[in-house]
Chain A
Amino acid sequence: SQQGEEDPQALSIQEGENATMNCSYKTSINNLQWYRQNSGRGLVHLILIRSNEREKHSGRLRVTLDTSKKSSSLLITASRAADTASYFCALAGANSKLTFGKGITLSVRP
């Protein structure tokens, strides 16, 4: 399968807590990306990590990539109610194909 698989499917946390979301995949990739989708809207890019990188940070986001285990994780620190959304990992192959997993529904309780 060329899709990533996100885990867990749903996550509910209290505001201020950290949220950790995982993505596993089976194919080789050029890079891995995380996107966010608010209800009824299009997806918005959050962060990209190349296959030769292990960790990247952007504001409250931290993404890691382990190519030996074919897995990635997205950490959102100090979560806010406004972080409530669906989060997707996307695999970018050498052929520029971009495929998405089924997503993780994150609920942040005020």
Chain B
Amino acid sequence: DAGVIQSPRHEVTEMGQEVTLRCKPISGHDYLFWYRQTMMRGLELLIYFNNNVPIDDSGMPEDRFSAKMPNASFSTLKIQPSEPRDSAVYFCASRLGGVKTEAFFGQGTRLTVV
């Protein structure tokens, strides 16, 4: 397996534009996590899914953020409208179910909102 695949790797957009980040988890994994990493806040959990169903979205900062998982092999994180303070590196991770499983991370999407 190629691992967790995120696209794009870098995104530069203007304030007010819609941004869509994409993630392909490892085949067969039951859980998918979206994180945001900044120097100030570290690695924040935004939302996670189990079998394509959102379980906890309490980390989503505002209504401008939304995430979907239409099937087991694809998830999106959308920001509409984007703001400069959304600039960060966004990571997607996936793992198997069970109590002793590690998470596998993608390479991240570096988002810059100008």
Residues of chain A touching chain B, judged by Cβ–Cβ distance below 8 Å, are 3, 30-31, 33, 35, 41-45, 48, 50, 88, 90, 92, 95-103
Contacts and interface: CB of A to CB of B under 8 A. Distances in A.
Q: A-side binding surface: helix, strand, loop or mixed? A: strand
Contact of B42 (A33, A97, A102): A102
B50 A33 contact: no
Interface of B: 4, 31, 33, 35, 41-43, 45, 48, 50, 55-56, 91, 93, 95, 97, 99-100, 102-108
Q: B-side binding surface: helix, strand, loop or mixed? A: strand
B48 A43 contact: no
Contact of B91 (A31, A33, A42, A50): A42
12 contacts: A43-B93, A44-B105, A48-B102, A50-B99, A96-B31, A96-B50, A97-B55, A97-B56, A98-B95, A100-B43, A102-B41, A103-B43
